[in-house]
């Protein structure tokens, strides 16, 4: 179970860190440069949108590996009758499973709407983009929180298994 916990900790950390870097570093930096007059704000939106789209595709890898690790941990907990560990794995899977595909779909739809807006679409498209942007941000935040919680839980379980007073029946 240690390799699965290590994989979960690593993948969930990468998953959360990617969201934090794109949403907390790249986007504010690019928009700050645009607001300072370095380039138009529309260009900043295109740049951030492209970075977000690329991360959205790459984020499927740590997400899928984290889910695979959760399945492995859950089967070990099931076999060892560790109800708490099994419950935590199932909760993690239920929270993580829909978030990444939903977030990816929202980003894809946002790309389409942004292209429509650049082509001169009206106020209706602008309103739809604003709503979609809000949903995408909320989904990204939820993804970051779930991934960070999975990373912390996996790291704590690893520490407990590897510590000097490791229990005979972990989790």
For 36-72, what is each residue's pLDDT tens digit? 999 998 899 899 999 999 998 999 999 999 999 988 8
Q: Judge whether 169 lies within some domain.
A: no
Q: Judge whether 168 lies within some domain.
A: no
Q: Judge whether 167 lies within some domain.
A: no
Low-confidence ranges of the chain (pLDDT < 70): 165-171
- Domain of residue 82 covers 2-162
Domain count, the chain: 1
The rounded distance, in Å, linking the Cα atoms of 162 and 155 is 10
Distances (CA, A) of 44 to 27, 138, 141: 8, 21, 21
The rounded distance, in Å, linking the Cα atoms of 148 and 13 is 6
Q: Which pTM was predicted?
A: 0.85
CA dihedral angle for residue 132, residue 134, residue 137, residue 141, rounded to 10 degrees: -130
Q: Judge whether 131 lies within some domain.
A: yes
């Amino acid at each position: 179970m240690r390799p699965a916990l290590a994989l979960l900790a690593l993948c969930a950390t990468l998953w959360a860190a990617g969201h934090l870097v794109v949403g907390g570093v790249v986007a504010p930096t690019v928009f700050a440069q645009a607001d300072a007059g370095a380039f138009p704000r529309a260009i900043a939106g295109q740049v951030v949108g492209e970075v977000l789209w690329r991360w959205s595709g790459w984020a499927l890898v740590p997400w899928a590996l984290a889910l695979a690790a959760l399945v492995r941990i859950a089967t070990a907990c099931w076999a060892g009758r560790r109800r708490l560990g099994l419950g935590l794995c199932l909760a993690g899977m239920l929270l993580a499973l829909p978030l990444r595909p939903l977030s990816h779909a929202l980003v894809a739809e946002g790309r389409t709407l942004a292209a429509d807006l650049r082509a001169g679409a009206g106020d209706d498209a602008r309103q739809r983009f604003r709503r979609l942007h809000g949903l995408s941000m909320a989904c990204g935040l939820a993804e970051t929180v779930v991934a960070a919680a999975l990373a912390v839980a996996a790291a704590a379980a690893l520490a407990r298994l590897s510590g000097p007073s490791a229990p005979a029946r972990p989790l």
